[in-house]
Amino acid sequence: MPTFLDWTRGGGAGESAPCVICGKPAICRSPGGKPVHKVCAEAWTEQRNARKAVA
Ligand SMILES: [Zn+2]
């Protein structure tokens, strides 16, 4: 099931910095303040949830 994160609160934007997942420049910020593309975070969250379901 596709994961869609809601970053309307907490998330934001800032200077271009390497995405913590793919390493390409990202201006998006996660709610935790890390530079990351929203699509990368969604894919990562999806994988993590899938792993959790197995374990
Ligand atoms: Zn990325």
- Tell me the CA–centroid distance for residue 20 and ligand 1, in Å: 7
pTM of the model as a whole:
0.71
- Tell me the CA–centroid distance for residue 19 and ligand 1, in Å: 5
> Which DSSP string corresponds to 1-55?
-------SSS-EEEEEEE-TTT-SEEEEE-TTS-B--HHHHHHHHHHHHHHHHH-
Average pLDDT, the chain: 84
- Tell me the CA–centroid distance for residue 8 and ligand 1, in Å: 18
Count CA atoms closer than 13 A to 12's CA, side-chain side.
7
- Give 22-36 pLDDT, tens digit per residue: 999 999 998 888 999
- Tell me the CA–centroid distance for residue 1 and ligand 1, in Å: 20
Flag whether pLDDT at 11 surpasses 80: no
